[in-house]
Amino acid sequence: MRVVFVSLLFVVQPLLPIAAAAGNAPLDVPCVEACRAPAVDALRACRASGADAETCAANATATFDVCTAERCGTTSSAACVGCSVGDANCAGCPVGAASCVDACEMQARDAYAATPTAHGVARRIRREFRRCIRSCDAGTVTTASSGGAAVTKQTSSPKLPRCLQAMTTHPLLADYAAYIAAHANVQQAMNPCKVSTSILSWFYAKLEEAEQAGMPPSAPLPDGFSTTSTDSYVPGGTQSDEILGAKLAHVFWVEVRNKVPWRLASFGSADLKRIFTLCKWPHPCRHDAIVDFAAQYVLDHSPRVAWTVLQQNLDLAALTTPRQAVADVLEHTRAFVHGAVYYDGSGNVVRDDTWGIRTLDEMMTEKVSRHGCWSMVPYAMQLAAALNVPVDGVSDYFDGLGHATALFPATDQVLAHGDDVYNGLLLNTPTRLVLDSYARWQTEVLAYPPGSATAAYNSQTNDKQEARLHPSAYLMEQYCSAGGRAILDSIFTTYATAQQLDALEAQIVTLTNGCATIPPDAR
């Protein structure tokens, strides 16, 4: 990472008027203005820690994104786009909520997100917001004026970008064309006019396939894939465009056909960018760039395969929030095991689960994370992404170098280490508590460079705390098999006080009846 040294006084001083003004937020777009204060606070904390200016700016922007995702996704704006009389999904929304006005609100929010800590931009953005509203001059919508009274405004007819005009010649795609035309922020994240004509052709074909079948789009396995190869990497090859077209179609099939109860328009620009990053970590790719599909450790080639895995392991009808979806996806993985080499009594290898690449359904069936965290993180990411949940992957933060992490900024969740789902110390910890906080990671982990000793230490705080608060059968076995207090000291080191370890020791003695019986994990 390029390090830029900037005076702390220079960075913080211009922000003070903004923080003071946050309490007097403009009535046009109050939620975005109110979110500037926590972004400022995050920047100050990051700079105080000694991190470089680029890292701190990214940290502040991420804080702003989390805040706006929580405060700005209200039924008065994004969630009400496209509502109509009798729509059961639009309870609490004004009938005829205006997509044009909503688009103006989203543009204002994204403008703030682009410069959450810049000084002097608020007046310009509010002026552009009002100009945008005035431009909605065809069709009637109802909005609220600054005094709270209802005001009738005119909205322009939705427009498809020129590169998507071919959708109008496909009757089965009428709903999708109308949706894309009506949602400026989603259209911007999709960036369709930068997509190759080949991928767009597959996009149309896969949407039509999904409509006709009533099932998610499908795509073929890449020619280079083999379950017998020891290679963990596979390129998309000649199937790249078809795979990317199917993945792009799946995003809209889930959204337009209401397969999940949350809406794309409720996400900020950074999270929408994550959704439209169709190849996931460790080889992320944008469909609107000149790059082929590729996968490593876990192959997510077909949305229909991903959806089938989800259907077989989650109650999709019971999902209510993206946060619940993340926890449910990971709950399904708690029975998996780390890839390992097995030997017989003579020392001969009888089984080796540490090589190759597996498709999502193959990994589901095996319940083996062949490359440990490097398999589990893309597996969890790809299943969450199939539900239109924004996700990122990073490495070299947890416990130093060599480990993989899944980040869910929109839901304030982090799978700190892919192996946490089957970590013996955490097997008695509820899955929702195994997940760490993204907000905490922003300031205490991601604010430092990969491999940093401080980041490595802070990345383990949640794991150590939950393992202590929910002692597992494995921990009790270690304690009772002559490890005693010494094993607790070696595991928890400085993550727990002497008093906290005294309490843990007493709890283990009670739970095991003096180490007579090890109770099973109750999770």
Torsion of CA 348, 349, 351, 357, to 10 degrees: -170
- The pair of structure tokens assigned to 348 is 């001969």
Q: Alpha-carbon torsion 129, 122, 3, 438, what sign?
A: negative
Using CA atoms, how far residue 339 sits from 192, 290, 421, in Å, is 40, 35, 13
Model pTM greater than 0.75? no
Give the three-state DSSP class for 243: helix
**Digit-coded pLDDT (tens) for 235-275:** 999 999 999 999 999 999 999 999 999 999 999 999 999 99
> What is the SS3 assignment for 176-240?
HHHHHHHCHHHHHHHCHHHCCHHHHHHHHHHHHHHHHHCCCCCCCCCCCCCCCCCCCEEECHHHH
Distance of CA 190 to the CA centre of its chain: 17
Confidence class of residue 86 from pLDDT cuts 50, 70 and 90? Answer: very low
Name the band, by pLDDT with cuts 50, 70 and 90, for residue 148. very low
Residues 332-355: what's their mean pLDDT?
A: 95
Residue 155: is its pLDDT beyond 90?
no
The pLDDT, as a whole number, for residue 285 is 84
Beta bridge partners of 459: none
State the chain's mean pLDDT as an integer: 83
Element (H, E) at 486: helix 484-492
pLDDT in tens, 345-402: 999 999 999 999 999 999 999 999 999 999 999 999 999 999 999 999 999 999 999 9
pLDDT bucket at 194, cuts 50 / 70 / 90: very high
Higher pLDDT, 379 or 22: 379
Give the highest mean pLDDT range of 105-119, 148-162, 312-326.
312-326
What confidence tens digit (pLDDT) does each residue in 88-138 have?
A: 444 444 333 345 555 565 666 656 555 554 555 666 666 666 666 556 544
Please, which pLDDT band fits residue 83 given cuts at 50, 70 and 90? very low
